[in-house]
Amino acid sequence: MRRLPIKTYVLLPIVVALATLLAAFVWEAHRDRQGRLDAAATRDLHSLQNLLMLQLEREAATMRVALVALMRDKRLQAAFEAADREAIAEQVQPLFERLHEEHGVTHFYFVAPDRECIVRVHKPEFYGDIIERITMRRAEETGEQVWGVELGPLGTCTLRVVMPWRTEKGLVGFVELGEEVESITEKIRKATGAHLVVVIRKEHIEREGWEQGMEMLGRDANWDQFPDVVLVGEIPRVAPPGFLRTLGDVLANPDASRTLLSENTRFRIDSFELHDMAERHIGYMVVLRDVTEEHEAARVSVVLTTGLSAGVGGALFVFFYLLLDRLQRKLGREFGERQKAEQKLREHRDQLEETVTLRTRHLRESNEELQREIVDRRKAEEEALKLRALLKSMTDSMPSVLVAVDRQANVTQWNQQAEKATGLSAEQVLGKPLAEVFPQLPNQSERVYKAISTGQTQTELKVPSQREGETRYADITVYPLSGPGIEGAVLRLDDITERVRIEEMMAQTEKMLSIGGLAAGMAHEINNPLGGILHGVQVIQKRLSPTISRNLEAAREAGADLQAIRAYLEQREILTFLTRIRESGERASKIVSNMLQFSRKSDAHLTPVDLAALIERAVELAASDYDLKKDYDFRQIKITREFAPDLPPVPAVETEIEQVVLNLLKNAAQAMQEIGGVKDRRISLRTGRVDEWAQIEIEDNGPGMSQEIRKRAFEPFFTTKGMGDGTGLGLSVSYTIVTTNHRGSMTVDSVPGAGTTFRIRLPLHRNAQ
Amino acid sequence: MTTPLRVLIVDDEETLRTHLAAYLEDSDFDVTAVASGEAALNALAEGTFDIGIIDIRLPDIDGNGLVLRCHEICPSMRFLVHTASASYKPPDALAACGVRQEHVMVKPILDLDTLVQAIHRIA
């Protein structure tokens, strides 16, 4: 059980406060006493100073009275007038002795008007000298009585009174009385108990005179005792040891006072300035006073005050102590009871705490469980997100269109390729029916249903669809999805248009080659009957010619006129039919010879060919081409040429390439002819070097062709020309010449309505291929 | 009037042969037309020819061989090869007899006048 330290808490500050208060009070009382003592001492000092002045005046007055009385003595007057030294001395000697004894007068002079000393009553053996003292001179000057303190040559201070002695005859001379200041201070000491000691400033006296004077007075003379002053008066007997040192301190700082303690006596030392009658500051009056009594009284007062205060303080302390003790006991009892109650409370609380801790632990455990579940779940979600992202990037990275659908054929997954193929984003299509978002591929929903219901992969190859006027092909596979909670299908769509095109191209090439092979075998057999036809027609035409004599002869022999026969034939258009037979035969022959081109091995000898010259020749051939001339004058087409000057000769079969170029020129002319309307008809011919290839470009501003036509341009037997206008082999033959025979490439660009550009590339180095 | 050039046509295809012969006769050549190599050699045994128009694919003798034989028999004779094969190229042996690519006429000859001119060129 803890005790309440109330006592300490309360008493300690009280004690401190009381002690502080007491100390402050005592100190203040002491200070007050001291201050009063100082004030009283200062006051006393002033009184003493005034007393000295008063005493001086009184002494001077006494001497004046004595002198006035003296001057009434006619006998003495006569003696003075006669300057009878002995008579004067004899008459005044008793008076002087009385004055000396009763009043301490020590000097008595009779001085002639010219200040010559007639009688020195106190020292009769010295006379006849001239008195130079200030008092005397001033009395001479003013003719009035003069008095004052004067510093003598021996360093002593004397109160002097000089009075002129006048008769009806005039000035007889001067009488003077003097008293040593020390005699006056002695009187003051007797009256007040204060010792007065005279010190004189060295500047007003001479050392020799002073030492002489001191010797005369039987005192110790120490000129160097103080720096500026010398001691003239006698050191008081009561003066304590160290007086002289303290005196030095006082003289160094004349305004301050010093206290000197000696045994049981306390002295106070003060000073005030001393002036002679000429108002010269001749020295100081040092005052030594016994202040023991006053001091003791003050001390007693302080002690009494202190004692009283301490008593009251103690009583207060005791009172508080007892009061607090009782209070503490009472509080202690209550405190104990409360502690008991608190103890009980604490026990209850501990119990409660235990319960709470238990509950908290349970709560925490279930909380942690929950936290773990959250973490697991978050992980699972992250995993799911990751998986989804992985799935998406996987499906996006596939070159195929991948579309996942549910069992109702609604879209659930849509990859980037699908977006590209349809132009619809995943957000736009998710959840929508497949048929709605992929209308260009009908019947896919059925396929999906079938795949799901049978669990079998459904495949359909090379499904055509139309896009931007172009047929595209796709392989479509529908994979049924199976798994817990998963029902649906994945639709995979591979755009195989390019592959189909390549396949077609390859097929085309193969076709050409097989045509070539067939043609080679066929040509002989066809050419013979063709020869029969064509040669036959030519024989007929020849035999109908009127210019051949045999014909004329035969006609005549037959009894007919050749001219008439011809007229008949013309009328019946037989000659025209013959011509048509011949033309048809020629076309057939051309087809055969073109077909033979496909089979031709590149055994023709490659020679360096100047492409620019070759093109020029082709242009000339085009201009003179009979077939072309029929329909269109090639010379009306503006031909522009941009031939690279630095193009080296190209290894080629000159006639073949020439045929290709000519073919293209003819095609261009025919195409422009076809639409008719083009005014500014133009063919641009360009050569250039692209890496290791020589390139020929033939560009026209004709009608151009659609994508569909462009793609089939090189196909054998494909033609856009009217029936009978083309063999459908021109471009495919050219293509074969360039690609197979020369291992070059041939492409065509076309913008419908703007023109067509054919581009032929031939390798510059054969071995590079 | 000068003596007409004597032309020997060798072709197994009757129609072609007769048509060609008719045309050349009308063009004032002295034409003999036979259907085989053997017949050609027989004809050569009987007389000389200035020009031989020889089909390459013959039933008995190879046209090239026939040209060489004819040349042996009648060195002054000049030849034109008349063939249905567009890819025909005269072998080196024929070059010795003066038969080059320009002397190859591929059937059908679209304008028989070119043949007449060719004959005149080599005769």
pLDDT of residue A351: 93
Distance from CA of B77 to the nearest CA of A (A): 24
End-to-end Cα separation, chain A, in angstroms: 113
**Mean of pLDDT values over A95-110:** 87
**How far is Cα B26 from Cα A552, in angstroms, rounded to an integer?**
12
Q: Is B6 on the interface with A (CB under 8 A)?
A: no
B111 neighbourhood in chain A, CB within 8 Å:
538
* Segment A530-580, tens digit of pLDDT: 889 999 999 999 999 888 888 999 999 999 889 999 999 999 999 999 999
* Segment A18-57, tens digit of pLDDT: 888 888 888 888 888 888 888 888 888 888 888 888 888 8
pLDDT of residue A631: 62
Judged by CB atoms closer than 8 Å, whether chains meet at B110 and A589 is answered as yes
Res. A725: pLDDT tops 60: no
Judged by CB atoms closer than 8 Å, whether chains meet at B26 and A539 is answered as yes
* Segment B83-108, tens digit of pLDDT: 887 778 888 888 888 888 889 998 88
Structural class in CATH, domain A193-290: alpha beta
Q: Which CATH architecture describes the domain A602-763?
A: 2-Layer Sandwich (3.30)
Distance from CA of A534 to the nearest CA of B (A): 7
Most confidently modeled of A171-175, A701-705, A733-737? Answer: A171-175
Res. A130: pLDDT tops 50: yes
**How far is Cα A614 from Cα A622, in angstroms, rounded to an integer?**
12
Assign a CATH topology to domain B6-122: Rossmann fold (3.40.50)
* Segment A379-414, tens digit of pLDDT: 999 999 998 888 888 888 888 888 988 888 889 889
Q: Which residues of chain B have pLDDT under 70?
A: 1
Distance from CA of A546 to the nearest CA of B (A): 12
* Segment A74-87, tens digit of pLDDT: 888 888 888 888 88
A534 neighbourhood in chain B, CB within 8 Å:
108-110
Most confidently modeled of A199-203, A753-757, B70-74? Answer: B70-74
Calculate Rg over the CA atoms of chain A.
Answer: 82
Give the residue ranges of DSSP H helices in A484-548.
497-543
Q: What share of chain A is helix, strand, coil (3-state, %, to 5)?
A: 55, 20, 25
Residue window 91-110, chain B: list those with CB within 8 Å of chain A. Answer: 106-110
Judged by CB atoms closer than 8 Å, whether chains meet at B26 and A542 is answered as yes
pLDDT of residue A769: 41
Burial (0-12, 13-18, 19+ Cβ within 10 Å), A376: exposed
In terms of CA atoms, which chain B residue is nearest residue A536? B19
Among partner residues B22, B26, B108, which is closest to A531 by beta-carbon distance?
B108
* Segment A413-435, tens digit of pLDDT: 898 888 888 888 888 888 888 88
A547 neighbourhood in chain B, CB within 8 Å:
none
Among partner residues B15, B26, B86, which is closest to A543 by beta-carbon distance?
B26
Percent of chain A past pLDDT 70, that is, above it, reads 92
Give chain B's mean pLDDT: 90
A595 neighbourhood in chain B, CB within 8 Å:
none
Under 8 Å CB pairs connecting chains A and B tally to 78
pLDDT of residue A2: 52
Distance from CA of B87 to the nearest CA of A (A): 8
Instruction: Choose the mutation target among B1, B23, B56, B58 for the interface with A, i.e. most A CBs under 10 Å.
Output: B23
Longest dimension (CA), chain B: 40
Distance from CA of B88 to the nearest CA of A (A): 11
C-alpha of A230 from chain center: 83
Q: Which amino acid is at A200?
A: I
Judged by CB atoms closer than 8 Å, whether chains meet at B108 and A542 is answered as no
Work out the number of other CB atoms within 10 angstroms of the CB of residue A686: 17
Instruction: Choose the mutation target among A518, A526, A528, A535 for the interface with B, i.e. most B CBs under 10 Å.
Output: A535
Q: Check if A193-290 and A400-494 are the same fold.
A: yes
Structural class in CATH, domain A400-494: alpha beta
Interface pTM (ipTM) of the complex? 0.89
Res. A310: pLDDT tops 90: no
By a Cβ cutoff of 8 Å, what residues of chain A touch chain B?
Answer: 520, 523-536, 538-539, 542-543, 548, 550-551, 585-586, 589, 592-593, 596, 599-600
**How far is Cα A477 from Cα A456, in angstroms, rounded to an integer?**
11
Give chain A's mean pLDDT: 84
pLDDT of residue A512: 67
pLDDT of residue A507: 65
Burial (0-12, 13-18, 19+ Cβ within 10 Å), A421: buried
**Mean of pLDDT values over A89-118:** 87
B47: left (phi over 0), alpha (psi -120 to 50) or beta: beta
A529 neighbourhood in chain B, CB within 8 Å:
15
Distance from CA of B43 to the nearest CA of A (A): 24
Non-local CB neighbours of A488 within 8 Å, separated by 6+ positions: A404, A405, A406, A407, A412, A448, A452, A481
B29 neighbourhood in chain A, CB within 8 Å:
none
What confidence category does residue A347 fall into, taking pLDDT thresholds of 50, 70 and 90? very high
Q: Which of A174-178, A493-497, A560-564 has the lowest mean pLDDT?
A: A493-497
Among partner residues A523, A550, A586, which is closest to B85 by beta-carbon distance?
A523
Instruction: Choose the mutation target among B105, B107, B111 for the interface with A, i.e. most A CBs under 10 Å.
Output: B107
What confidence category does residue A220 fall into, taking pLDDT thresholds of 50, 70 and 90? confident
pLDDT of residue B9: 95
Judged by CB atoms closer than 8 Å, whether chains meet at B108 and A530 is answered as yes
Res. A350: pLDDT tops 50: yes
Instruction: Choose the mutation target among B29, B88, B110, B111 for the interface with A, i.e. most A CBs under 10 Å.
Output: B110
Distance from CA of A734 to the nearest CA of B (A): 18
DSSP state, residue A254: T
Among partner residues A524, A533, A536, which is closest to B57 by beta-carbon distance?
A524
DSSP state, residue A740: I
**Mean of pLDDT values over A1-15:** 72
**Mean of pLDDT values over A437-448:** 79
**Mean of pLDDT values over A467-479:** 79
Residue window 18-57, chain B: list those with CB within 8 Å of chain A. Answer: 19-20, 22-23, 26-27, 57
**How far is Cα A412 from Cα A137, in angstroms, rounded to an integer?**
149
Instruction: Check: CB of residue A164 under 8 Å from CB of residue A171.
Output: yes
Distance from CA of A766 to the nearest CA of B (A): 24
Non-local CB neighbours of A153 within 8 Å, separated by 6+ positions: A205, A206, A209, A213
B115 neighbourhood in chain A, CB within 8 Å:
none
pLDDT of residue B52: 94
* Segment A594-619, tens digit of pLDDT: 777 666 555 567 888 899 999 998 88
DSSP state, residue A741: I
Judged by CB atoms closer than 8 Å, whether chains meet at A524 and B22 is answered as no
Domain boundaries, chain A: 193-290, 400-494, 496-599, 602-763
B23 neighbourhood in chain A, CB within 8 Å:
535, 538-539, 542
Instruction: Choose the mutation target among A526, A537, A538, A595 for the interface with B, i.e. most B CBs under 10 Å.
Output: A538
Among partner residues B13, B85, B110, which is closest to A534 by beta-carbon distance?
B110
Res. A1: pLDDT tops 50: no
Structure tokens at B36: 């085989």
Non-local CB neighbours of A242 within 8 Å, separated by 6+ positions: A260, A262
